[in-house]
Structure 1
Amino acid sequence: MSRPATIIGLKAACVVGFDGTQHVLWRDGEVVFEGSHILFVGRGYAGPVEQWIDYGNALISPGFIDLDALGDLDSTVLTLDNGDERDMGRMWSEEYLARGPRESFSPEEEVFKYRYAFTQLIRNGITTAMPITSMYYREWAETYDEFAAVTQVAGELGLRTYLGPCYMSGMSYWRADGTLGHHFDEAKGLAGLAAAELFFQDFDGTYGGLVRGALLPDRIQTCTPALLQKTAALSRELAAPVRLHCCQGLGEVAMVEQLRGCSPLAWLEKLNLLTPRSLLPHGIYTSGADDLQRLVNGGASLVHCPVVFARDGEALNSFGRYRALGINFALGTDTWPADLLENMRQGLNIARLLEGGNSLTSTLDLYNAATLGGAKALGRDDLGRLAPGAKADISIFNLRGLHLGPLFDPLKNLVLAGRGDDCIASYIDGRCVMQDGQVQGIHYPALQRQAQRQFEKLMRSHAERAAGQPDWKTLFKPAIAFADDYSATAPLSGIDPLL
């Protein structure tokens, strides 16, 4: 017989509860949970509690939901102020495709990058994640065996995840004349979908329900009609969520219009892929009101990732206007750092700049997207909220930091000045996965050293994909030029991090 679950009570200066309709703030609040479920949220719990933990001047919040969570060593940071991607080997060149793509990492290194990324997610108060990685560095796409190992990592760390191997039937590449080409291999795409179906059947619901399956085709422009039609049918059969990146670039929109004769969202509507099970990062480039109405009619959710697009001068126009139409928003990080507070802050500022004022988008709107909106996108009414019967997915944010300034409203202070690493403790499914900022079972210095070694290997791999295979050290430019040629021979890490 299993032992009865321990009843644990948490106390803090502020608690974000849920009244059945919306978040509400409790001062000097309490959260009590037994096993994986919450029993009580409020003040003055009178029942038995085997352990009380008082976090003092802190905010107890529902854990954040990241539905485009970086599961990688971030490669987009390499493009920052670094010129054209055609020249720096992030995307494939025609000659690289002709030689035959290859893996940048070993199987063990592929799995490690998830351990590194999942640790970062937990460290930043994220309790539910649907990860995303780059396919540019792969021989083709992700594999069943790889994700069987990733599932084990998620289970060990205790992160709630929606997993499945990414699959695709095509890849864009740069031709020698500087134009963009598109290579398709239908057989590989369909084999990837079959692997994703097998993974779903084998792993959905494992680790006590922490691991759930999902269908994760790569991007709309890398998928053929047959692959997406079969994805839609399989999603209906399995009741599985589908995440598909779309409307995220002008080149993508032009390609879909050329090949399919309509806008990306109109094409997805024809394929029956605009449903309440559809999660769509990023929704930036749409074809006017008709496209937005398609989202509303189908019930699909947009996954908003403001930080990664703002770096390149792009933005959703606008969060408030989309939301006013009835479009559901979730949030995603999609890049380093894995900080949803930063995405809330930049998302709020960007929305108000584009909206010309502060009336359409509020601080709470962004917080809701990271909690209730993410839960709705997943079809879960037991996530993204602290209420009796909900899952005990809880993040605690320290409010003592000098950088937060004098406290008026804990949420406003955190969104205006907070950081993900203000999260000091996290519980997922009732299990304490982080305490005092330390993710259980992880040695941070060793983790960072391994990540640094792999990142340098990733940088070297850019030379293989770039036209002419230049010296990899010429592909990346520091913000401040080196004073001498020391950089040509010294390791990029220079100083061992976190020693």
Structure 2
Amino acid sequence: MTKTLYRAPWIVAYQDGSHTLLENGCLVVEDDRIAFVGRHYEGEVDQEVKTRSIITPGLISTHAHMNESPIDKTIVEDANKRQFWSSSLIEILPPRASAMTDEDKEHCVDLSLATHLLTGTTTVMQMGEVSEYVVEAADRTGIRAYIAESYRSGRWLTRDGRRVEYEWFDDDGKKAMDAAAGLVRNIHERGNERLRGWLNPSQVDTCSEALLRESMELSQELDVPISIHAAQSLTEFVEMTRRNGRTPIEWLDDVGFLNDRVILGHALFLSGTPWVNFAGDDLGLIARSGASVSYNAWTFGRNGINMFSYDKYLKAGVNVCLGTDSDMQSMLESLRWTAVLGKIAERRSDGARADQAFNSATIDAANYLGRPDLGRISEGAKADLLFWNNDSPSMTPSRDPIKSIVYYAQPEDLRDVMVSGEYVVRDREVRGVDIERSVAAVKDAGRRVWSTWPEYDWGSRTIDEHIPLSYPRFA
């Protein structure tokens, strides 16, 4: 057993049910856990480290698609998606996904893992494809990961750029669901405490009632969390009300899918919000059900879509967590945009605060997972720690380290990352990832996706025709 004492100018320590700011304090890491946090420690240790860092708990991303997200860069921004109310889901993401090979997705996983770790994520909840590779890569890097192979009853598409259509699978997604359950069992049989499985029936509008009911039974049988994308676009909202006369959230409740095992991906297009002219109490329904929400502020904010509002969700009693979703896959950006966009939505400087965003990224996410040993620095908790540079231009001076991190920290201010007592990032070197190789491979994947765009676009447009460059090409 190894015991290390860290002394630091600031430690975000957990006390009496809340984060607190411990100035000039110390903490002791013994193997994979925190053995002590406080002002003074007089016991024996194997080594002592005096650091100038701000030490915080690691951040938890409750919504990630690591197998594809890097390719989204310079495709989804500034695009004219008026017909689908600014959502990139219908016209942009399907061609990109269709053009990617499994090898492309694996390279994206490696780069995504590095990006998550370099921006403060110590626990990531991944949903997508090539999941066996994700398991291996997560093990290699040392990150804590919940991994789900996504499945659904059908898919959406457009044949004319004006209407959304649905194609349904003959087996209602049952084979894919069984494979996803098999993945969960295989992960748990590995016996690695950092790796867990969970379930992801993909989207509320692409899953049948039967598939969702079976998914909930599986979640209970396997004793794992479960997530679904719901209320993530106006096209989805309109489709679900057309089918059922019920909002997406109401329909999920009708079919027995809302409970405290569930985290809803996005949940932005709710009844009673400015996005929809539809009466109802979706927010209250979510709160009463005990389901959580994963808010991905940056991904939607860049498309002009915001939560109305973060403050109202919290006041309604909804457990709001944060995610990284599409690129940039940065919990640092998620923290910042949650706070900033929350202020804009409420038109108040305190409409969303740094401490609330930090809670969503730590304690609240850990509570959803039923993990009182994550998201906090307290005796017995896992030693998932971030070491932030307290002396950089962006972090100086730091009267309040949480405000400094949420509003001013840059990725390079995060120097070291620890998961279960082991350094997985040391002086910004990521364990288990050749970043230079991954960058080159993802560049190649991007070029292939761009060049083959007409093969998968409904109108056979080139990518420049579909999504124009910021400026014309030099003649």
What TM-score do the two structures reach when normalised by structure 2? 0.92
Confirm whether residue 234 of structure 1 aligns to residue 218 of structure 2: yes
> Secondary structure, in 3 states, of the residue corresponding to 1:204?
helix
Q: Which moved more, 1:171-180 or 1:225-234?
A: 171-180
Confirm whether residue 60 of structure 1 aligns to residue 55 of structure 2: yes
Amino acid at match of 1:246: A
Residues 177, 470 of structure 1: alpha-carbon distance in 2 compared, 3 angstrom cutoff: closer
Give runs of aligned pairs for residues 295-374 of structure 1, distance below 5 A.
Answer: 295-374=286-365
TM-superposed CA distance for 1:171, in Å, is: 1.2
CA contact (8 A) 1:147 1:164 kept: yes
Confirm whether residue 199 of structure 1 aligns to residue 183 of structure 2: yes
Q: CA separation in 2, counterparts of 1:205 and 1:426?
A: 27
1:407 match: 398
Confirm whether residue 118 of structure 1 aligns to residue 102 of structure 2: no
Q: Number of matched residues?
A: 463
Q: CA separation in 2, counterparts of 1:380 and 1:446?
A: 35
Give runs of aligned pairs for residues 26-37 of structure 1, distance below 5 A.
Answer: 26-37=22-33
> Secondary structure, in 3 states, of the residue corresponding to 1:358?
coil
Amino acid at match of 1:263: T
CA contact (8 A) 2:345 2:351 kept: no
* C-alpha distance after superposition, 1:284-331 (max 9, x if no partner): 111136211211111110111111111111111111111011110110
Amino acid at match of 2:29: F
Residue 262 of structure 1 is aligned with which of 217, 239, 246?
246
> Secondary structure, in 3 states, of the residue corresponding to 2:229?
coil
TM-superposed CA distance for 1:238, in Å, is: 1.6
2:411 match: 420
TM-superposed CA distance for 1:194, in Å, is: 0.3
TM-superposed CA distance for 1:103, in Å, is: 5.0
> Secondary structure, in 3 states, of the residue corresponding to 1:244?
strand
CA contact (8 A) 2:153 2:168 kept: yes
Residues 77, 52 of structure 1: alpha-carbon distance in 2 compared, 3 angstrom cutoff: farther
TM-superposed CA distance for 1:208, in Å, is: 2.4
CA contact (8 A) 2:35 2:379 kept: yes
Amino acid at match of 1:158: G
Confirm whether residue 80 of structure 1 aligns to residue 77 of structure 2: yes
* C-alpha distance after superposition, 1:352-390 (max 9, x if no partner): 222122344321000000000110121111100010111
Give runs of aligned pairs for residues 147-296 of structure 1, distance below 5 A.
Answer: 147-176=131-160, 178-187=162-171, 189-204=173-188, 206=190, 208-288=192-272, 290-296=281-287
Give runs of aligned pairs for residues 90-101 of structure 1, distance below 5 A.
Answer: none
Residue 131 of structure 1 is aligned with which of 106, 126, 138?
126
TM-superposed CA distance for 1:442, in Å, is: 2.8
> Secondary structure, in 3 states, of the residue corresponding to 2:99?
coil
TM-superposed CA distance for 1:458, in Å, is: 2.3
CA contact (8 A) 1:242 1:277 kept: yes
Q: CA separation in 2, counterparts of 1:421 and 1:280?
A: 31
Residue 38 of structure 1 is aligned with which of 34, 40, 56?
34
Q: CA separation in 2, counterparts of 1:69 and 1:177?
A: 27
> Secondary structure, in 3 states, of the residue corresponding to 1:78?
coil
Identity %: 26
Residues 102, 325 of structure 1: alpha-carbon distance in 2 compared, 3 angstrom cutoff: closer
CA contact (8 A) 1:171 1:183 kept: yes
Residues 108, 483 of structure 1: alpha-carbon distance in 2 compared, 3 angstrom cutoff: closer
TM-superposed CA distance for 1:243, in Å, is: 0.9
Q: Which moved more, 1:154-163 or 1:251-260?
A: 251-260
Q: Which moved more, 1:75-84 or 1:289-298?
A: 75-84
Residues 12, 206 of structure 1: alpha-carbon distance in 2 compared, 3 angstrom cutoff: farther
1:105 match: 100
Q: CA separation in 2, counterparts of 1:363 and 1:91?
A: 30
Confirm whether residue 446 of structure 1 aligns to residue 446 of structure 2: no
1:378 match: 369
CA contact (8 A) 2:415 2:425 kept: yes
TM-superposed CA distance for 1:166, in Å, is: 0.7
Amino acid at match of 1:393: D
Confirm whether residue 480 of structure 1 aligns to residue 475 of structure 2: no
Q: Deviation above 6 Å: which 4+ runs of structure 1?
A: 90-93
CA contact (8 A) 1:274 1:299 kept: yes
Q: CA separation in 2, counterparts of 1:35 and 1:186?
A: 50
CA contact (8 A) 2:122 2:384 kept: yes
Residues 395, 76 of structure 1: alpha-carbon distance in 2 compared, 3 angstrom cutoff: same
* C-alpha distance after superposition, 1:199-243 (max 9, x if no partner): 111112635211111001211111111111111111122221111
CA contact (8 A) 1:132 1:334 kept: no
Residues 324, 36 of structure 1: alpha-carbon distance in 2 compared, 3 angstrom cutoff: same
Q: CA separation in 1, counterparts of 2:269 and 2:467?
A: 29
Q: CA separation in 2, counterparts of 1:361 and 1:404?
A: 21
Q: CA separation in 2, counterparts of 1:458 and 1:51?
A: 50
Residues 355, 252 of structure 1: alpha-carbon distance in 2 compared, 3 angstrom cutoff: same
Q: CA separation in 1, counterparts of 2:262 and 2:462?
A: 42
CA contact (8 A) 1:284 1:316 kept: yes
Amino acid at match of 1:219: Q
TM-superposed CA distance for 1:338, in Å, is: 2.2
Amino acid at match of 1:233: E
TM-superposed CA distance for 1:85, in Å, is: 8.7
TM-superposed CA distance for 1:32, in Å, is: 1.1
Amino acid at match of 1:81: D
Amino acid at match of 1:44: H
CA contact (8 A) 1:168 1:222 kept: yes
Q: Which runs of 5+ in 1 are unaligned?
A: 134-141, 485-499
Q: CA separation in 2, counterparts of 1:430 and 1:364?
A: 25
1:435 match: 426
TM-superposed CA distance for 1:188, in Å, is: 5.6
